[in-house]
Structure 1
Amino acid sequence: MKNVKILLAVFGFAAVMVVLFGWGGPIVLKLFLHNDYARSVILLVVFSLVVFGKRWHWSNGLVYIIALFSFFGMFIDSAGNPLYNKPLEWIVSPFGQLQVDRYVTNYAPGQFSITDNVTILKPDGEVTRFSTIWLYLYRLAQYMVFYSIIGTLLSAIRGKRPESLPLTPTSAAETLTPEMEQRVAAELKRREAAGTALKVVPEEVQAQVRQLKQEGQLIPAIKLVRGHTDMSLGEAKRYVEGL
């Protein structure tokens, strides 16, 4: 029966891999390459899962996660989507209409060439082409700001959730057998006796303490008591005064 379960588990894992890479993989890849919104959403989902799942926040390295995703997003999603490009359109609107185009060329299975073009169409019909470096810098700054906001919100939401449910006080006691309870009680008595052993002042020390007290030397008497016991300063003082 155990071997059958192992074989079924291997078959199920293989089936899932075939579905993911044979059917779902090409669909995701096609969306990632040709759909502007899909790239942004996939990056956002992966970023959110990493921050939320690993409980990243500003005090334990969230800034590095933001920098890493912003850096890769700058190259992977350089063209962005119409929503992400709205601020850039407002910036260049005094000069003309912004156009960001991405060209994907498939040379062979699994080999792609991606080219991004940034142009401004002026009112007179003139087309001005800009270097993609400016697009990369804009996307990097945009992702850093965007992920900083999202990361702060996710870490705040995740921080309010407890790590795990606390154990009830009776859960441990319910698993103890009578024999174990007796052993625990005996061990507690032994520890209690060991803890109070040093609280008792030997008789020969008591005589010296009384002599020092009669002579008015309270401080040496207290030091003598503390030197032969584990009493605190207050306990030794009360002990000397009570003699």
Structure 2
Amino acid sequence: MMKNVKILLFFFGFAAVLVLLFGWGLPVVFQFFLHNDYIRSLTLLVVFSIVVLVKRLNWSAYLVFAVALFSFLGMMIDTAGNPLTNKPLEWIVSPIGQLQLNQDVNNYAPGQYVISDNLAILKPGGKVVTLSTIWLYLYRLAQYMVLYSLVGTLLAAVRGNKPERWPVPAAAVDEALTPEMEQRVAAELKRRETASTSLKAVPEEVQEHVRQLKKEGQLISAIKLVRQHTDMPLGEAKRYVEEM
């Protein structure tokens, strides 16, 4: 019974979250984006920077794809721009007239918006020349490509110079060996030399005896016999007898 109640409460909570998200949260965020000229550009720039830093992108590792993708998103999401990003466009059209950039937002139903951007130039004589919005899209695409290329290059350089982990300082050691250390090294070298020249081969007459003991099922006696005539350890002698 309690399990069913928990399941129903979970689905009720999930539905309530969806209602709050789509019925209240997203419209508020959408309105905030519409009425703030700078937030769209800043949001795209922050997300782009996070992607470059987290994924360690550079010009040899997919940075060009991130620049292209975010430039396209900027062109579509931030077409109208803000007074700061539109300054270069104003300078471009200043010999002709004054730039007029308007964004119309038509709310047909709750949560349904239609946004249209209008680009025009007001000439000194009062004549208004309406331009195709395609020029605005091209300008915004070029602008974001330049911006993200510069920011991406800077972030890639900063991220590339940053080590993955802080280096652990190496402990200071003396280059010269003490007499005690030299004695230990000499003893170890002597031990290894002795071990390498130790008797490993089993004499032929002993091999025949070992084979006979193995046939009779006396493995322990055969292993002991091998160890008596060689310096093999127990495991190696056992393996030797089993492989005969």
- Paired amino acid for 1:103: D
Instruction: Tell me the residue number matched to 2:139.
Output: 138
- Paired amino acid for 1:38: I
Counterpart mapping for 1:56-75 below 5 A: 56-75=57-76
Q: How far apart, in 2, do the equivalents of 1:56 and 1:46 lie? A: 13
Shift of residue 168 of structure 1?
Answer: 8.1
Shift of residue 58 of structure 1?
Answer: 0.7
Q: Is the 8 A contact 1:34 1:104 kept in 2?
A: no
Q: How far apart, in 1, do the equivalents of 2:109 and 2:20 lie? A: 22
Higher radius of gyration, 1 or 2: 2
Q: Is the 8 A contact 1:31 1:39 kept in 2?
A: no
The unaligned stretches of length 5 or more in structure 2 are 1-9, 172-191, 198-244
- List per-residue Cα deviations over 1:86-106 (Å, max 9, x = no partner): 111111101110011111112
Instruction: Tell me the residue number matched to 2:116.
Output: 115
- List per-residue Cα deviations over 1:26-83 (Å, max 9, x = no partner): 3322121232211111111111111111111111010110000101111111111111
Seen in structure 2, the aligned counterparts of structure 1 residues 45 and 24 have a Cα distance that, compared at 3 Å, is farther
Counterpart mapping for 1:9-24 below 5 A: none
- List per-residue Cα deviations over 1:111-166 (Å, max 9, x = no partner): 21110000101111111100000000011011000110011111111112222345
Q: Is the 8 A contact 1:78 1:116 kept in 2?
A: yes
Where 1:36 maps in the other structure, the secondary structure is: coil
Instruction: Tell me the residue number matched to 1:182.
Output: none
- Paired amino acid for 2:106: T
Instruction: Tell me the residue number matched to 2:38.
Output: 37
TM-score with structure 2 length normalisation?
0.59
Q: How far apart, in 2, do the equivalents of 1:127 and 1:104 lie? A: 21
Shift of residue 24 of structure 1?
Answer: 5.1
- Paired amino acid for 2:30: L
Instruction: Tell me the residue number matched to 1:157.
Output: 158
Seen in structure 2, the aligned counterparts of structure 1 residues 38 and 55 have a Cα distance that, compared at 3 Å, is same
Shift of residue 19 of structure 1?
Answer: 7.6
Q: How far apart, in 1, do the equivalents of 2:48 and 2:73 lie? A: 11
Between the aligned residues of both structures, percent identity stands at 63
Instruction: Tell me the residue number matched to 1:85.
Output: 86
Once superposed, what is the RMSD of the aligned Cα atoms?
3.4
Counterpart mapping for 1:1-243 below 5 A: 25-165=26-166
Q: Is the 8 A contact 2:120 2:131 kept in 1?
A: yes
Q: How far apart, in 1, do the equivalents of 2:17 and 2:46 lie? A: 21
Shift of residue 17 of structure 1?
Answer: 8.0
Q: How far apart, in 2, do the equivalents of 1:59 and 1:145 lie? A: 18
